[in-house]
C-alpha cells in the first residue's frame, strides 16, 4: 500500500506508481542543457518550428525541482507562490505587492482584457499583426477592438494608437509576435509618459530576454511612476517552460488590486512554481539560451540571405521573412515534409514565421524550404 505521509517521493517509488515507461517520459536521466532530447511533437519525427517554443527545455535545476515537487502535489501552492513572487520582486527591483503571477502570461493578458475593456470601460487598441489572444479575450468581454497597422519598420505606430484610445486598454507586444521586431525604447517611454490617465497600457515582454538591440529596453522601471502601466513576462520562452504555464506581470499595487478579483484562486500549479523559482536561481539558463538561439538564428538568416530572402530584423527566438509569394501553400507544403512553421498572418500574406530551433532543426527547415521553393 502506498501512502503520502512524507513530503518527498523517491523516483523509484514514483516509477512503481506510474510504471517505468511513464517515469522515462517525465524524468530525464541526465540534465545536460545542450544535449536534451529533441522535441517530440504529435507527429512522429516532425520538426516543430511553429509555436516559438524553446527547444532546449527547462533548466537542469528546474527539472530537478519538478521531480522534487511530486510529493507536494497534495498541498496548496500558497507558500511556493510567495517564494517565486519574492524572487521576481528582487529581480525586477519592485515590491512584493507589485507582482501578480498567472497561468502563463496568457492569463495575465486575459485578466487585463476582462478588467480594463468592455462596453463600459473602453476598447482594446492593438497593432496588426500582433499576438492575437488578447483580441479574442476583449471581444468575448464585449469590447471593441481597434487595429492599427505597424509602421514600415514593423514598429508599433504609437501616435495613432494613442489617438485611437478613449479609456480602455492599449496592448503593445515588444518584441512583437509574429514580426520579431521592436518598438524603439525612446518612442515607447515617451508614449507611456504621455498617455492620458484612464487609459491603461499593457506591454507584453514575453521575448524580452532575446532582445539585444541598443534601441530596446524593458518598461518595468517605469511602473513605479505610472499607475496606468502593466508589464507582462513569461517563463515559456527563455526558461523553456511553455508546457508548465507560468507567467507574471508588474504593476502598481492599486492596479493589481483591480485585476485580482477577476483571477481564479491558485491558478499556478506547484510544479510550475517550483520550476520557475529554480530557473531564476540558475545563472546559466538565460545566457545559454541566448547564445544557442543567436547561433542558430544567425546561421538560418545567413542561409536565407544567400537564397535571396530577407528577414525582418529579429529580436526574438523566431524570424519572419518575405517569401515573395503567398505563404499559405508553402506552409502546407512544408508540413507535408514534416516541418511545421507558423500559420498565415493575413496582414503579411507573403511572410513566413519560423521558430528558431536547434541547428539540426534549422538545417531540416532550410532543406525543406529549398525543395518547396524549387
Q: Are 219 and 108 part of one and the same domain?
A: yes
Cell digits for 7? Answer: 513530503
Last residue within a domain, chosen from 247, 263, 281: 281
Does 101 map to a domain? yes
Does 350 map to a domain? yes
What pLDDT sits at residue 26?
33
Does 106 map to a domain? yes
Indicate the pLDDT class of residue 17, thresholds 50, 70 and 90: very low
pLDDT tens per residue, range 175-234: 999 999 999 999 999 999 999 989 999 999 999 999 999 999 999 999 999 999 999 999
How far is CA 188 from its chain centroid? 20
Last residue within a domain, chosen from 230, 252, 281: 281
pLDDT tens per residue, range 136-187: 999 999 999 999 999 999 999 999 999 999 999 999 999 999 999 999 999 9
Does 265 map to a domain? yes
Residue closest to 219 by CA, chosen among 198, 201, 234, 235:
201
What pLDDT sits at residue 120?
92
What's the whole-model pTM score? 0.88
Q: Is 32 exposed, middle or buried (0-12, 13-18, 19+ CB in 10 A)?
A: exposed
Q: Are 90 and 206 part of one and the same domain?
A: yes
Q: Are 251 and 300 part of one and the same domain?
A: no
Q: How many CB atoms lie within 10 A of CB 30?
A: 8
Contact 229, 73 (CB under 8 A): no
Does 149 map to a domain? yes
Mean pLDDT, range 103-125, rounded to an integer = 97
Domain residue limits at 142: 71-281
Indicate the pLDDT class of residue 14, thresholds 50, 70 and 90: very low
Q: Are 297 and 274 part of one and the same domain?
A: no
Last residue within a domain, chosen from 263, 281, 299: 281
What pLDDT sits at residue 29?
30
What pLDDT sits at residue 44?
61
What pLDDT sits at residue 30?
32
pLDDT tens per residue, range 299-355: 999 999 999 999 999 999 999 999 999 999 999 999 999 999 999 999 999 999 999
Give the percent of the chain with pLDDT over 90: 87
Q: Are 264 and 309 part of one and the same domain?
A: no
When divided into structural domains, the chain yields a total of: 2
What pLDDT sits at residue 197?
87
Q: Are 265 and 325 part of one and the same domain?
A: no
Amino acid at each position: 500500500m502506498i501512502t503520502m505521509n512524507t513530503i518527498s517521493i523517491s523516483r523509484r517509488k514514483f516509477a512503481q506508481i506510474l510504471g517505468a515507461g511513464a517515469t522515462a517520459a517525465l524524468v530525464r536521466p541526465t540534465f545536460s542543457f545542450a544535449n536534451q532530447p529533441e522535441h517530440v511533437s504529435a507527429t512522429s519525427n516532425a520538426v516543430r518550428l511553429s509555436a516559438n517554443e524553446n527547444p532546449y527545455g527547462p533548466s537542469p535545476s528546474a527539472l530537478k525541482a519538478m521531480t522534487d515537487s511530486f510529493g507536494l502535489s497534495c498541498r496548496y501552492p500558497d507558500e511556493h507562490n510567495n517564494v517565486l513572487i519574492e524572487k521576481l520582486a528582487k529581480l525586477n527591483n519592485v515590491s512584493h505587492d507589485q507582482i501578480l503571477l498567472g497561468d502563463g502570461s496568457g492569463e495575465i493578458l486575459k485578466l487585463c482584457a476582462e478588467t480594463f475593456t468592455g462596453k463600459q470601460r473602453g476598447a482594446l487598441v492593438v497593432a496588426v499583426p500582433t499576438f492575437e489572444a488578447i483580441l479574442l479575450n476583449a471581444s468575448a468581454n464585449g469590447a471593441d477592438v481597434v487595429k492599427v497597422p505597424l509602421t514600415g519598420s514593423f514598429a508599433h505606430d504609437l501616435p495613432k494608437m494613442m489617438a485611437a484610445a478613449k479609456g480602455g486598454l492599449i496592448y503593445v507586444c515588444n518584441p512583437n509576435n509574429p514580426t520579431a521586431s521592436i518598438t524603439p525604447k525612446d518612442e515607447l517611454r515617451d508614449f507611456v509618459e504621455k498617455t492620458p490617465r484612464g487609459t491603461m497600457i499593457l506591454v507584453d515582454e514575453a521575448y524580452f530576454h532575446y532582445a539585444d538591440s541598443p534601441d530596446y529596453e524593458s518598461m518595468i522601471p517605469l511602473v513605479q511612476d505610472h499607475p496606468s502601466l502593466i508589464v507582462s513576462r513569461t517563463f515559456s520562452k527563455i526558461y523553456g517552460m511553455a508546457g508548465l504555464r507560468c507567467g507574471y506581470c508588474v504593476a502598481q499595487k492599486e492596479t493589481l488590486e483591480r485585476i485580482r478579483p477577476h483571477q481564479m484562486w491558485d491558478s499556478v500549479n506547484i510544479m510550475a512554481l517550483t520550476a520557475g523559482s529554480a530557473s531564476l536561481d540558475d545563472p546559466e539558463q538565460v545566457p545559454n539560451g541566448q547564445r544557442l538561439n543567436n547561433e542558430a538564428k544567425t546561421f538560418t538568416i545567413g542561409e536565407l540571405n544567400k537564397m535571396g530572402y530577407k528577414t525582418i530584423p529579429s529580436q526574438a527566438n523566431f524570424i519572419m521573412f518575405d517569401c515573395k509569394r503567398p505563404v499559405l501553400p508553402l506552409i502546407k507544403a512544408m508540413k507535408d515534409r514534416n516541418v511545421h512553421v507558423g500559420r498565415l498572418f493575413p496582414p503579411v500574406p507573403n511572410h513566413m514565421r519560423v521558430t528558431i530551433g536547434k541547428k539540426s532543426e534549422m538545417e531540416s527547415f532550410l532543406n525543406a524550404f529549398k525543395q518547396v521553393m524549387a
